[in-house]
């Protein structure tokens, strides 16, 4: 059986900085893969390359066996790969409901002009999704009035609304208050498991990684330094020194 | 404001226009022009939703007006000329749109301006055909075979303008609340997200651009049928600026804004010109300044904020 | 426009009241055409379309000033047929659709008795049919295009001056007389209808009267252009014998100055049919020996005015009031005012002292002959005015800080105007060279 | 061969004309571009400042001449008048209008300057009237230079040949040096690149904005003042100047000083060659150049592509 996502030999340099220097990674269907590593290691670059925002200078990426390198973000989304963002990308002048409904509509095709966005079918699906993320009470709040944690969740909800088979999340819990973090992640995992979505997420909080990842990939200077089960990776002294060392107590990561 | 009260407001406005046009004959002309400009501004409003300002939509106005002027020689039927002019404006809008929707903000505005100025020059250049700045006079036109002239003609054009205004207004109102309309608004706040949702912002903007060209086309055709004389000044950049001016004056919050703005603009201009013939620009400038500084929601914003307060 | 309420926001009620008050004066019903007739009006209202903004206000504002001056004079003398006159000015600046709207407002709301329209040819072309539609006598007071009465017939529109054809043809005839052996010509005209039309007239007539002249360059800089250095360089390099420019206003001023600075006037004879209006501004930057016209027989130092007292009074009053000698739009306005006076008086007399209807007033203008500050003008049966044309050569005199005209020829209107029922383009091709020989004597500048 | 040599010289003449025209265009566009970089507003009233600078320079110059000032004083008077207009109007406009609008939508900011343009346009007419105004003492004093042309010689004014390009080059050099090597200049650049980051670094963005706008206003006025000796100032001169500067700015890339120079050069030379080769297309040249540049470089010649941050 082929991997859901298969990257081979990805290379990309910004000037002298090698953001990807020969990345080989297979993501299996149904797994939750965490990406950890110091800032500047190229974690976000990997997501950007996979989703078509950046074009690698070398290598291949295949999704479900089909090469997706060089496709636009729009085409890649169409194939079933969605993403969320480190800085939430919301439509700031729309409400939470409208944001999520627009994602639902985007999945169904936006080319209808005679029926409203908040037609019953879209509204119900969006409301249901919002409820699953525990955001019902902010349904009608404008996105620019939300706190960071809520924005993050809405951002992910919009990606989930696209019903992807693979979801890439860039630091899903950064900015979320520590007290709420675990509950939110629980919800997230439940929602994704229910939906049968494969997930790749960049994370700095080792507690989150330890609890939810099936596998962990450690990034270092544009390469995968280590790859394996959470228990093995998180206890690796080399990883502890280079990655976890600069992210004490999980969460607030110091400047690199 | 709810959909129902907006509808009621629009119908009341339509009745008011008819009453005014009946009571004050010379206002028929001014109101017809105002309705036409309101139609064009409705298109500007669509683009404003996406955060884009076109300083060149006078191009479509002039294109349609000249289409009517030239077309009337071959087919003098207004009910054929009108859609033909709008269609041509739409086709040219599609071709130009394919190019300009790749640009944003000032580049979008400037490219539109540049193309409309090129069209202006063309109208001046092909002077043997267009008589340059002197413009061309419309040959006699008919509606359903009856001559479009005199008082009946004025009423007919006003009626056509009113029906088009109501129809386009309703359509834009519905379209803005549709997924496409909301995606259009998304271009303003977070264009990249649209791409990552599988929606092409360029195509969304292109759809709005073509629609705006068609509406400007309707406007230009009505203006041609009303003034019966078309000149290249219709495509000069100040005409485009005027459309944006009206959009802000009326308020971008509702499809009624463009028509309120256009009526206010035309009446202010007529009034200012009648009172201060050599300083009417100054009066208009002060009005615009006051609206922007004190009532950023435009006239429509003033009306709704009053309602909310009451 | 409206008062501001609390919080600096215009409340709806205030806005409505404000708009209502503002609108009230505009909402007054107009005088309807049919109800009027025998009753003598309290005053004669005259709508005057002129440029009050934009580049053409260099003509529009002197026109307005002249109208104000002459209306005051008429009223001081008791009005026309005992009725005072009042001008209502509208700006042509915003464009044709504005002027057309204003025309309707003037007729339907202000209830004007007469309209003077306009400077822009586009505005005249748009207003002439309106005059018939709304049945209001309209005097075309300054626009140049010959198309109006050649392409259409109107019952209510009349032109109280000449048109482009005689204005340009006279300049060509003058050139042929004073510089018969020129071999080549370059043209620098404004890039819009007037610049193109006037060159067409000039070229057509030139090819008929003196075939074989080489056209060295046809340059049409942008209307409103301020820099002509490229055009001047080109003409300097091409060395044509004659340079024609029908430009006006700021464009012509700039062209004259820049050509003067670069000694182009020393290399070619300039023919500038509209330069009379720029003489006082460019001053002696314009050298002696170049051909200047005035769109009619207008010149405050006219060598042979019909009524020297009348011209002197007109020029001196204008000069005293506005600190400049009158230029051609002033004369054109004076002609329109004179035509109005003569027309109304003729109509009143025809009715035995009763007040004429609009239709009766309109028919009074047909065939009307009225005095101008320098001679008289007759309105032909097609509505076109027959006005003499004065062309002269510049001369520097110590008496004035700007060039004056000498060797002036006054062309009789009939000799240079397209006959009724003919189109200029065709008529110009029928001209014969012997018309140059038959020209009147030139008259020198007399100090 | 003879054709080539003669036309070779013609090309040389066209170069000279194009150069001086480019210098005049650059003087107006550079201020506009500088202001755009810092304020992110395309200042439509820049054209009015140009006109007012020209009128003020002409008035002061003519007044000085009437007092018997020697002609060589003409040039310093032009400079002084420009600085005067910039210092008198710049801070007032910036503080009273633009600063209040800073956080508003870009289209509103643009329209504020449009309103200001309308107001200034009429005010200028009320102050200076409608008759063309000119002050050519400096030009007359400098005289002409004969440029050889085959057997012939073509006179050019020294003003056009030396002063205009000279002042433009000096302006470019001074601006480039100030922006690169002085603290204030670097602050201006910092605000241009990223206002928020500059503020975070402790730069007084409000002061930088005010300063830049004043300099921009003075540059516009200087453009007008330098034009006063050759050009006749008439109503509407500001409007035609501003559209041309817009084209230069969009071609140049927003906020780019060197870009403005190159774009002005392209447009100036393009126009003057058009007069030689295809005079009927002269008017379209600036727009054609702009469209062509944006087709291949969507951010303008020197514009830096803004990466959309995600």
- Evaluate whether A225 touches A218 at the Cβ level (below 8 Å): yes
**Nearest CA of chain D to the CA of C263: how many Å?**
7
**Nearest CA of chain D to the CA of A130: how many Å?**
23
Reduced 3-state DSSP string for D271-292:
HHHHHHHCHHHHHHHHHHHHHH
- Of C383, C411, C426, the last residue of a domain is C383
Asked if residue D264 belongs to a domain, the reply is no
Chains with ≥3 CB–CB distances under 8 Å to C:
B, D
**Which backbone phi and psi does A34 adopt, to 5 degrees?**
-95, 140
**Which backbone phi and psi does D243 adopt, to 5 degrees?**
-65, -40
The length of chain C, given as a count of residues? 447
Residues of chain B found within 8 Å of residue D307, distances taken between Cβ atoms:
none
- Evaluate whether C154 touches C161 at the Cβ level (below 8 Å): no
> What is the count of structural domains for chain C?
3
- Evaluate whether A171 touches A189 at the Cβ level (below 8 Å): no
| Whether residue C175 sits in one domain with residue C157 | no
CATH number at residue C66: 3.40.50.2300
**Of the candidates C271, C210, C215, C273, the residue with the CA atom closest to the CA atom of residue C431:** C210
* Any D CB within 8 A of C129 CB: no
As a whole number of angstroms, the distance between CA B139 and CA D284 comes to: 30
Quick one: CA dihedral D259, D260, D262, D266, positive or negative?
A: positive
**Of the candidates B274, C248, B278, the residue with the CA atom closest to the CA atom of residue D127:** B278
As a whole number of angstroms, the distance between CA D218 and CA D94 comes to: 13
Q: What is the mean pLDDT of chain B?
A: 90
Torsion of CA D214, D218, D221, D227, to 10 degrees: -150
Domain interval for residue D187: 26-139+153-234
Q: What is the mean pLDDT of chain D?
A: 86
Which tokens is D151 given? 């057997």
* Any A CB within 8 A of D309 CB: yes
Instruction: Give the E-state strand segments of chain B in sequence order.
Output: 136-137, 142-143, 146-147, 229-230
Which tokens is C353 given? 């002292």
Local structure of C417: helix, strand or coil: coil
With 0-12 CB in 10 A as exposed, 13-18 as middle and 19+ as buried, what is B217? buried
As a whole number of angstroms, the distance between CA C281 and CA C279 comes to: 5
As a whole number of angstroms, the distance between CA C142 and CA C332 comes to: 6
Local structure of B213: helix, strand or coil: helix
Answer whether D282 sits within 8 Å of C57, measured CB to CB: no
Local structure of B270: helix, strand or coil: helix
Which CA distances in Å does B94 have to B71, B84, B203? 21, 15, 11
Please give the pLDDT value at position D310: 57
Residue ranges of alpha helices (H) inside C77-95 are: none
pLDDT in tens, B150-169: 888 899 999 999 999 999 99
Answer whether D287 sits within 8 Å of B244, measured CB to CB: no
As a whole number of angstroms, the distance between CA A65 and CA A198 comes to: 15
Low pLDDT (below 70) residues in chain C: 1-38, 447
Asked if residue D57 belongs to a domain, the reply is yes
| Whether residue C347 sits in one domain with residue C232 | no
Q: Could you state, in order of their start, the residue ranges of all structural domains in chain B?
A: 3-236
Please give the pLDDT value at position C205: 96
Beta carbons within 8 Å of B237's beta carbon, 6+ residues apart: B55, B56, B58, B113, B116, B117, B120, D243
The DSSP code for C183 is -
Which residues 164-183 in chain B show a CB within 8 A of chain A?
Answer: 174-175, 177-183
Residues of chain B found within 8 Å of residue D45, distances taken between Cβ atoms:
none
Which tokens is B68 given? 């009517």
Please give the pLDDT value at position C344: 95
Answer whether B29 sits within 8 Å of C223, measured CB to CB: no
Asked if residue C445 belongs to a domain, the reply is no
Quick one: CA dihedral D155, D159, D161, D162, positive or negative?
A: positive
Answer whether A89 sits within 8 Å of D309, measured CB to CB: no
Residue given tokens 């400042």 in the structure block: D49
Please give the pLDDT value at position A244: 62
Residues of chain B found within 8 Å of residue D123, distances taken between Cβ atoms:
282
Which residues 55-114 in chain B show a CB within 8 A of chain A?
Answer: none
With 0-12 CB in 10 A as exposed, 13-18 as middle and 19+ as buried, what is C178? middle
The DSSP code for A140 is T
Of A128-137, A231-240, C288-297, the range with the lowest mean pLDDT is A231-240
**Of the candidates B209, B297, B294, the residue with the CA atom closest to the CA atom of residue B250:** B297
Question: What percent of chain D is modeled with pLDDT above 90?
Answer: 28
Residue given tokens 């994704």 in the structure block: A192
Taking residues D250-258, report their average pLDDT: 83
As a whole number of angstroms, the distance between CA C429 and CA D19 comes to: 44
Asked if residue C147 belongs to a domain, the reply is yes
Q: Is the pLDDT of residue A145 over 60?
A: yes
The predicted model scores a pTM of 0.88
Q: What is the mean pLDDT of chain A?
A: 86
**Of the candidates C295, C339, C324, the residue with the CA atom closest to the CA atom of residue C166:** C295
The Cβ-side half-sphere exposure at C172, using a 13 Å CA radius, reads 27
- Of C383, C401, C418, the last residue of a domain is C383
Q: Which helix (H) or strand (E) holds A199?
A: strand A198-202
Of A71-80, B194-203, C400-409, D193-202, the range with the lowest mean pLDDT is D193-202
What is the band of A20 on the pLDDT scale with cuts at 50, 70, 90?
A: confident
For residue C22, the tally of other CB atoms under 10 A from its CB is 17
Asked if residue D6 belongs to a domain, the reply is no
As a whole number of angstroms, the distance between CA C211 and CA D154 comes to: 30
- Evaluate whether D38 touches D191 at the Cβ level (below 8 Å): yes
| Whether residue C187 sits in one domain with residue C271 | yes
Asked if residue C83 belongs to a domain, the reply is yes
As separate numbers, helices (DSSP H) first and strands (DSSP E) second, chain C gives: 16, 15
What is the band of A245 on the pLDDT scale with cuts at 50, 70, 90?
A: low
The DSSP code for B149 is -
Which tokens is C431 given? 């001209």
Asked if residue C300 belongs to a domain, the reply is no
Distance from chain centroid for Cα D46: 9
- Evaluate whether D172 touches D258 at the Cβ level (below 8 Å): yes
Which tokens is A103 given? 């994602």
In the beta sheet, which residues pair with residue A7?
A25, A61
* Any C CB within 8 A of B308 CB: no
**Which backbone phi and psi does C222 adopt, to 5 degrees?**
-50, 140
Asked if residue C216 belongs to a domain, the reply is yes
* Any A CB within 8 A of D310 CB: yes
As a whole number of angstroms, the distance between CA B247 and CA B298 comes to: 8
Kindly list the structural domains of chain A, giving each domain's residue range(s) and its CATH number in brackets, ordered by start: 5-44+53-90+149-246 (3.40.50.300)
pLDDT in tens, D68-120: 888 888 888 888 999 999 999 999 999 888 888 887 887 888 888 989 998 99
Please give the pLDDT value at position B96: 96
Residue given tokens 């009241």 in the structure block: C17
Asked if residue C305 belongs to a domain, the reply is no
> What is the count of structural domains for chain D?
1
Please give the pLDDT value at position B308: 59
As a whole number of angstroms, the distance between CA B167 and CA B178 comes to: 17
Quick one: CA dihedral D7, D9, D12, D18, positive or negative?
A: negative
What is the band of D148 on the pLDDT scale with cuts at 50, 70, 90?
A: confident
Which residues 224-263 in chain B show a CB within 8 A of chain C?
Answer: 226-231, 233-234, 239
Of B232-236, D170-174, D241-245, the range with the lowest mean pLDDT is D241-245
Residues of chain A found within 8 Å of residue B102, distances taken between Cβ atoms:
none
Please give the pLDDT value at position C33: 45
Beta carbons within 8 Å of A54's beta carbon, 6+ residues apart: A12, A45, A48
As a whole number of angstroms, the distance between CA B210 and CA A113 comes to: 14
Residue ranges of alpha helices (H) inside C77-144 are: 96-105, 121-134
Residue given tokens 């049928």 in the structure block: B225
The DSSP code for B277 is T
| Whether residue C155 sits in one domain with residue C90 | yes
Asked if residue D121 belongs to a domain, the reply is yes
Residue ranges of alpha helices (H) inside C245-351 are: 249-261, 279-282, 308-322, 328-350
Q: Is the pLDDT of residue A256 over 50?
A: no
Asked if residue C24 belongs to a domain, the reply is yes
Question: What percent of chain A is modeled with pLDDT above 90?
Answer: 41
Q: Is the pLDDT of residue B66 over 90?
A: yes
**Which backbone phi and psi does B45 adopt, to 5 degrees?**
-60, -40
Residues of chain B found within 8 Å of residue A116, distances taken between Cβ atoms:
174, 177-178
As a whole number of angstroms, the distance between CA B63 and CA B123 comes to: 10
In the beta sheet, which residues pair with residue D196?
none
Q: Cis bond leading into C118, ω under 30°?
A: yes
For residue A48, the tally of other CB atoms under 10 A from its CB is 22
CA angle, corner A208, sides to A46 and A254, nearest 5?
70
Residues of chain C found within 8 Å of residue B33, distances taken between Cβ atoms:
97, 101
For residue D137, the tally of other CB atoms under 10 A from its CB is 23
Domain interval for residue C6: 1-30
Residue given tokens 């003919």 in the structure block: C422
Asked if residue D32 belongs to a domain, the reply is yes
Local structure of C33: helix, strand or coil: coil
């Amino acid at each position: 059986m082929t991997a859901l996502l298969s990257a081979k030999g990805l290379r990309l340099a910004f000037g002298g900085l090698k953001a990807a220097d020969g990345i080989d990674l297979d993501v299996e269907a149904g797994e939750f893969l965490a990406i950890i590593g110091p800032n500047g290691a190229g974690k976000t670059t990997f997501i950007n390359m996979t989703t078509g925002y950046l074009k690698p200078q070398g290598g291949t990426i295949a999704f479900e066996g089909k090469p997706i390198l060089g496709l636009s973000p729009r085409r890649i989304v169409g194939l079933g790969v969605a993403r969320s963002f480190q800085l939430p990308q919301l439509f700031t002048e729309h409400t939470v409901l409208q944001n999520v409904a627009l994602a639902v509509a985007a999945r169904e095709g936006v080319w209808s002009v005679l029926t409203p966005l908040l037609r019953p079918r879209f509204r119900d699906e969006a409301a249901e999704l919002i409820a699953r993320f525990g955001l019902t009470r902010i349904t009608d709040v404008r996105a620019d009035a939300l706190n960071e944690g809520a924005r993050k969740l809405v951002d992910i909800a919009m990606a989930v609304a696209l019903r992807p088979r693979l979801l890439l999340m860039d630091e899903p819990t950064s900015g979320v208050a520590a007290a709420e973090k675990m509950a939110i992640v629980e919800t997230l995992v439940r929602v994704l498991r229910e939906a049968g979505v494969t997930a790749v997420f960049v994370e700095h909080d080792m507690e989150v990684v330890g609890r939810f990842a099936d596998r962990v990939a450690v990034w270092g200077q544009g390469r995968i330094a280590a790859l394996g089960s959470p228990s093995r990776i998180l206890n690796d002294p080399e990883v502890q020194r280079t990655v976890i060392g600069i992210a004490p107590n999980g969460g607030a990561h110091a400047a690199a | 404001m709810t959909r129902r009260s907006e509808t009621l407001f629009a119908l009341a406005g339509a009745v008011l226009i008819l009453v005014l046009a009946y009571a004050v004959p010379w206002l028929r002309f001014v109101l017809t022009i105002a309705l036409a400009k309101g139609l064009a501004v409705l298109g500007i409003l669509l683009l404003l939703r996406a955060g884009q300002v076109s300083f060149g939509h006078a191009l479509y106005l002039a294109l349609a007006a000249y289409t009517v002027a030239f077309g009337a020689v071959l087919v003098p039927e207004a009910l054929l000329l009108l859609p033909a002019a709008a269609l041509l404006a739409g086709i040219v809008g599609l071709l130009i749109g394919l190019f300009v929707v790749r640009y944003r903000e000032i580049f979008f505005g400037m490219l539109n301006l540049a193309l409309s100025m090129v069209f202006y020059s063309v109208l001046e250049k092909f002077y043997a055909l267009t008589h340059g700045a002197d413009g061309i006079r419309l040959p006699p036109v008919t509606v359903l075979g009856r001559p479009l002239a005199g008082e009946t003609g004025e009423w007919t054009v006003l009626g056509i303008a009113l029906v088009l205004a109501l129809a386009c207004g309703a359509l834009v109102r519905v379209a803005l609340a549709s997924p496409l309309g909301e995606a259009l608004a998304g271009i303003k706040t977070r264009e990249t997200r649209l791409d990552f949702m599988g929606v092409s912002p360029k195509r969304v903007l292109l759809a709005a651009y073509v629609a705006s060209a068609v509406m400007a086309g309707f406007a230009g055709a009505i203006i041609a049928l009303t003034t019966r004389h078309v000149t290249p000044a219709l495509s000069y950049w100040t005409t485009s600026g005027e459309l944006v001016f009206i959009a802000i004056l009326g308020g971008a919050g509702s499809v009624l804004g463009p028509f309120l703005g256009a009526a206010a603009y035309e009446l202010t201009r007529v009034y200012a010109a009648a009172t201060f013939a050599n300083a009417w620009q100054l009066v208009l400038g002060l009005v615009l300044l006051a609206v922007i500084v004190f009532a950023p929601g435009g006239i429509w914003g003033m009306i709704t904020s009053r309602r909310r307060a009451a | 426009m409206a008062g501001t309420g609390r919080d600096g926001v215009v409340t709806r009620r205030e806005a409505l009241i404000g708009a209502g008050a503002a609108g009230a004066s505009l909402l007054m019903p107009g005088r309807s055409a049919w109800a009027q007739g025998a009753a003598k009006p309290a005053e004669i209202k005259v709508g005057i379309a002129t440029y009050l903004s934009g580049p053409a206000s260099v003509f529009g504002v002197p026109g307005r000033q002249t109208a104000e001056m002459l209306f005051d004079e008429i009223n001081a003398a008791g009005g026309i047929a005992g009725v005072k006159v009042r001008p209502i000015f509208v700006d042509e600046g915003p464009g044709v659709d504005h002027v057309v709207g204003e025309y309707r407002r003037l007729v339907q709301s202000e209830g004007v008795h007469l309209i003077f329209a306009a400077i822009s040819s586009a505005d005249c072309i748009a207003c002439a049919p309106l005059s018939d539609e709304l049945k209001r006598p309209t005097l075309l007071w300054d626009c140049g295009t010959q198309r109006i009465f050649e392409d259409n017939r109107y019952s209510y529109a009349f032109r109280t001056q000449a048109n482009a054809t005689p204005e340009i043809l006279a300049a060509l005839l003058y050139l042929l007389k004073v510089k018969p052996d020129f071999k080549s010509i370059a043209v620098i005209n404004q890039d819009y209808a007037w610049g193109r039309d006037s060159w067409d007239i000039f070229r057509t007539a030139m090819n008929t009267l003196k075939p074989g002249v080489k056209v060295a360059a046809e340059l049409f800089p942008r209307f409103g252009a301020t820099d002509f250095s490229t055009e001047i360089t080109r003409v300097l390099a091409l060395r044509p014998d004659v340079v024609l420019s029908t430009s006006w206003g700021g464009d012509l001023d700039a062209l004259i100055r820049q050509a003067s600075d670069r000694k182009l006037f020393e290399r070619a004879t300039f023919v500038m049919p509209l330069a009379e209006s720029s003489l006082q501004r460019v001053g002696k930057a314009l050298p002696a020996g170049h051909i200047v016209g005035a769109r009619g027989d207008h010149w405050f130092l006219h060598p042979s005015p019909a009524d020297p007292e009348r011209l002197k009074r007109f020029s001196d009053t204008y000069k005293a009031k506005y600190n400049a000698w009158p230029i051609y739009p002033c004369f054109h306005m004076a002609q329109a005012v004179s035509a109005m006076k003569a027309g109304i008086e003729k109509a009143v007399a025809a009715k035995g002292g009763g007040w004429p209807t609009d239709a009766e007033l309109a028919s009074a203008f047909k065939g009307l002959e009225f005095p101008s500050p320098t001679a008289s003008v007759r309105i032909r049966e097609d509505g076109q005015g027959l006005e003499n044309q004065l062309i002269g050569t510049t001369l520097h005199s110590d008496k004035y800080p700007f060039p004056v005209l000498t060797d002036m020829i006054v062309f009789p209107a009939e000799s240079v105007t397209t006959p009724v029922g003919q189109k200029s383009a065709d008529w110009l091709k029928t001209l014969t060279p012997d018309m140059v020989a038959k020209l009147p004597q030139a008259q020198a500048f007399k100090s | 061969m003879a054709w080539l040599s003669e036309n070779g010289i013609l090309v040389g003449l066209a170069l000279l004309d194009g150069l001086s025209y480019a210098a005049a265009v650059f003087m107006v566009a550079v201020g506009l571009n500088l202001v755009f970089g810092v304020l992110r507003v395309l200042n439509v009233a820049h054209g009015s400042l140009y006109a007012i600078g020209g009128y003020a320079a002409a008035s002061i110059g003519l007044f000085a001449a009437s007092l018997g000032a020697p002609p060589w004083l003409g040039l310093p008077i032009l400079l002084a008048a420009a600085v005067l207009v910039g210092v008198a109007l710049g801070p007032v406009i910036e503080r009273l209008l633009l600063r209040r609008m800073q956080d508003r939508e870009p289209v509103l900011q643009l329209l504020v300057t449009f309103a200001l343009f309308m107001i200034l346009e009429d005010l200028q007419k009320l102050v200076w009237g409608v008759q063309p105004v000119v002050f050519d003492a400096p030009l007359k004093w400098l005289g002409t230079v004969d440029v050889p042309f085959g057997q012939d010689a073509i006179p050019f004014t020294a003003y056009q040949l030396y002063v205009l390009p000279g002042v433009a080059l000096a302006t470019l050099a001074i601006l480039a040096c100030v922006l690169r090597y002085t603290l204030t200049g670097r602050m201006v650049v910092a605000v241009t690149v990223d206002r928020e980051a500059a503020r975070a670094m402790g730069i007084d963005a409000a002061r930088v904005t005010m300063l830049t706008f004043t300099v921009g206003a003075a540059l516009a006025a200087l453009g007008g003042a330098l034009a006063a000796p050759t050009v006749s100032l008439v109503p509407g001169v500001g409007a035609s100047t501003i559209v041309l500067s817009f084209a230069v700015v969009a071609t140049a890339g927003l906020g780019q000083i060197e870009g403005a120079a190159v774009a002005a050069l392209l447009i100036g030379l393009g126009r003057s060659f058009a007069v030689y080769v295809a005079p009927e297309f002269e008017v379209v040249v600036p727009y054609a150049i702009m469209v062509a540049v944006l087709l291949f470089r969507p951010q303008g010649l020197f514009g830096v592509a803004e990466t959309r941050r995600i």
